[in-house]
Amino acid sequence: MELGSLQDPSKATFSFVDEDHTLANAVRFSLNQDPRVSFCGYSIPHPSDARVNIRVQTTGDPAREVLKDGCQNLMLMCQHVRSIFDKAVDDCRKNNHMEMETSIDD
């Protein structure tokens, strides 16, 4: 849900339901890397409420578009980390398999 100003689309608060600090902090980090963002922060209204409010203020671009770009950048970062992790796991398994074969041959 978007709670913004109709007169100024560069400022808006977005409410994410069923989310917590995990997503909110990652989105905040991603958005704060964008030079179009003048302010980004988040709050959780109440600990028992599974909702996060993310406030985005930009230098002029619509906050909705900047948030969308930030989320896409976060997805790309996650995909990159996942591919590096998967490669490291594969390399580790290959190395352990070779070590096991070597120790069996001894």
Q: Domain containing 66 — which CATH number?
A: 3.30.1360.10
> Which domain, by its residues, includes 74?
2-102
Backbone angles phi, psi at 34, to 5 degrees: -85, 125
Q: In this predicted structure, what is the pLDDT of residue 43?
A: 95
Which comes out higher in pLDDT, residue 6 or 101?
6
CA dihedral 63, 66, 71, 75 (to 10 degrees): 180
Number of domains in the chain: 1
Backbone angles phi, psi at 101, to 5 degrees: -65, -40
| Residue 47 pLDDT grade (very low, low, confident, very high; cuts 50, 70, 90) | confident
Q: Distance between CA atoms of 87 and 23, rounded to whole angstroms?
A: 25
Per-residue pLDDT at 78 exceeds 80 = yes
Per-residue pLDDT at 89 exceeds 90 = yes
Per-residue pLDDT at 38 exceeds 80 = yes
